A and B are shown apart, each in its own frame.
Chain A
Amino acid sequence: MTALLSAQSVSKSYGARAGCMDVCFDLWPGEVLAIVGESGSGKTTLLRCLSGHLPASSGKVHYSMRDGRHVALDEMSEAERRLLMRTDWGFVHQDARDGLRMGVSAGANVGERMMAVGERHYGHIRATATDWLERVEIPEDRIDDSPWSYSGGMRQRLQIARNLVTSPRLVFMDEPTGGLDVSVQARLLDLIRGLVKRLDLAAIVVTHDLAVARLLSSRMMVMQQGRVIEQGLTDQILEDPQAPYTQLLVSSVLQV
């Protein structure tokens, strides 16, 4: 088996300030990796480098294309990278307004990727959108409503449906439950966990919340000041953290 995505010494600096430094890992198909760390530790920077939204200052990110080729992101043509982003990849933003087209209906939000890859049958688009809304627990009769009329939790679920409609193999999520009420968070996490498992999705989930990492991921990386200070199986790290910083994190958050 080859890695779906591999990062080799990925670094990004903003002038003199380090965003992330020297990050290496392999992500396997169907695997969920959590990137945890406090605010400012470089999680978003790393995620944006991994997903091709931000050019790394140094290092390489390779991706296994559906046709088997192993391609470095910065060596892809822009056309190829953009196609990848709207077919094989998904992005769930913390602020749903960054990930949705707020000016059009929920149904159009879900249908957009289908139309982007050439679907030209309204009935098919509509039926698929309806099906996806149901899968993310949005009532069918809300299909023509604007995302503005949706609650925060619904918007996140709509974002997820909008991304999964093209059956991507990898989804990037940046604090997908951030800013939501605790009960809404729990429901969303359950939904994400179920979908990831059923669809055999690989995901990279950025979170400052160890509980999210525990629930969703099988493997995790802990970041501090731009560096990965510990990585391994999520259960293992939570049970037996090695780095002093991780120990501090775990003891302060997971006192069960």
Chain B
Amino acid sequence: MNAPAYNFAYLNEQTKRMIRRAILKAIAVPGYQVPFASREMPMPYGWGTGGVQVTAAVLTPEDTLKVIDQGADDTTNAVSIRKFFVKTAGVATTERTEEASVIQTRHRIPEAPLTEEQILVFQVPIPEPLRFLEPRETETRTMHALEEYGVMHVKLYEDIAQYGEIATTYAYPAKVADRYVFDPSPIPKFDNPKLDNCPALQLFGAGREKRIYAVPPYTKVKSLDFEDHPFEVQSWSEPCALCGSCHSFLDEIVMDDKGTRMFVCSDSDFCARQRGER
């Protein structure tokens, strides 16, 4: 007899139910970090085991999965996670944002607008935004409970005092539904506005830290700032060298050993579409 080596999407049904319960709780309390019993996954922690467990718990056989890392579908991390789900769940995969029903991501939100039919799953290394100033877990929990978020502005104050502007460019803290301050994972702050009022369900999984949190569809997400130093996204002085887009997040790429540089879209699917290749 050739019994399948794994249950659908690797995790057993009991584990998936446990994770789904955590997800439901996270959706019910937007931005709140729900503890869950994170499982060992057949990959190292730095590889997004939290996101992988969330994806495994929400995936159905009918889903089409897209996996990106730094915006690209072809990086090692993205390729191995995609392969993992092809092998364990047999789901269809795609590189096209609008074809995907589940998108697992590290570091980016796709440029193409998301829809109500989609779930975006983020891989999160450090879920606790208060940790920078308060290492004690019992204390950060109380601070969240009592909405004591003054220290978040201490960090932004330090930025302005040191650099003349808010220099935080990744993992930029935001407040969800006027209540919980959260860390939107290491996405560039360029992507923060996409979190706000997004039609898709956004789920965040931190494997090592055993936390799941969520931004339900159409939820207000407000990036923290000062009245006289309002939140701003990154901008570039030149368009994408490949597709000419002026509205996407650009990566700087070194072209040769003479140090020639070029700016191109980090979202490779978006860039290809702009160039009419897809």
- Which residues of chain B from 140 to 175 have any CB-CB distance to chain A below 8 Å in the complex? 142, 146, 148, 150-151, 153-155, 157-158, 160-162
Stretch of B191-199, B210-218, B222-230, B254-262 with 4 or more beta carbons under 8 angstroms from chain A: B222-230
**Residue of A whose beta carbon sits closest to that of B166:** A122
Contact pick for B153, options A78, A105, A115, CB 8 Å: A115
Q: Measured between alpha carbons, how far is A144 from B151 in the docked complex, in Å? A: 17
Tell which of A79, A103, A108 has the most Cβ of chain B within 10 Å. A108
CB B259 to nearest CB in A, in angstroms, measures 34
CA–CA, A104 and B155, complex, Å: 8
- For B225, what are the chain A residues with a Cβ–Cβ distance below 8 Å? 120
Q: Are A121 and B227 in contact (CB under 8 A)?
A: yes
Judging by beta carbons under 8 Å apart, are B148 and A82 in contact?
yes
What sequence of 0s and 1s flags, for each residue 108-146 of chain A, a beta carbon within 8 Å of any chain B beta carbon? 100111011100111101100000000000000001100
Is B24 located at the chain interface by the 8 A CB criterion?
no
**Chain B residues within CB distance 8 Å of chain A:** 133, 142, 146, 148, 150-151, 153-155, 157-158, 160-162, 225-229
Is A107 positioned at the interface, with any CB of B under 8 Å from its CB? yes
Min distance, Cβ B164 to any Cβ of chain A, angstroms = 11
How far is B146's CA from A105's CA once the two chains are assembled, in angstroms? 25
Q: In the complex, what distance in Å separates the CA atom of A82 from the CA atom of B142? A: 10
Contacts of B227 in A (CB 8 A): 120-122
Residue of B nearest to A143 (CB): B161
Complex Cα–Cα for A144 and B154 (A): 13
Q: Which of chain A's residues has its CB closest to B160's CB?
A: A122
The size bracket of the interface on A is 20 to 34
A101: CB under 8 A from chain B?
A: yes
Q: Is the CB of A115 within 8 A of B228?
A: no
Pairs across A and B, CB under 8 Å, 20 listed: A79-B146, A82-B142, A101-B154, A104-B133, A104-B155, A105-B158, A105-B161, A105-B162, A107-B157, A107-B161, A108-B154, A112-B150, A115-B150, A115-B154, A116-B150, A120-B227, A123-B228, A125-B157, A144-B161, A144-B162
Cβ of B152 to closest chain A Cβ, rounded Å: 8
Residues of chain B within 8 A of A144, CB atoms compared: 161-162
| A103-B133 contact given A78-B142, A125-B157, CB 8 Å threshold | yes
A82-B146, A101-B133, A115-B153 are known contacts. Are A108 and B226 too (CB-CB below 8 A)? Answer: no
Complex: how many Å from CA A105 to CA B162?
A: 9
A residues less than 8 Å from B161 (CB atoms):
105, 107-108, 126, 143-144
Contacts A105-B161, A107-B161, A108-B161; is A116 near B148 (CB within 8 Å)? yes
Beta-carbon nearest neighbor of A103 in chain B? B133
Q: Which residues of chain A have C-beta atoms less than 8 A from B150's C-beta?
A: 112-113, 115-117
Instruction: Write the chain A residue with the least CB distance to B151.
Output: A112
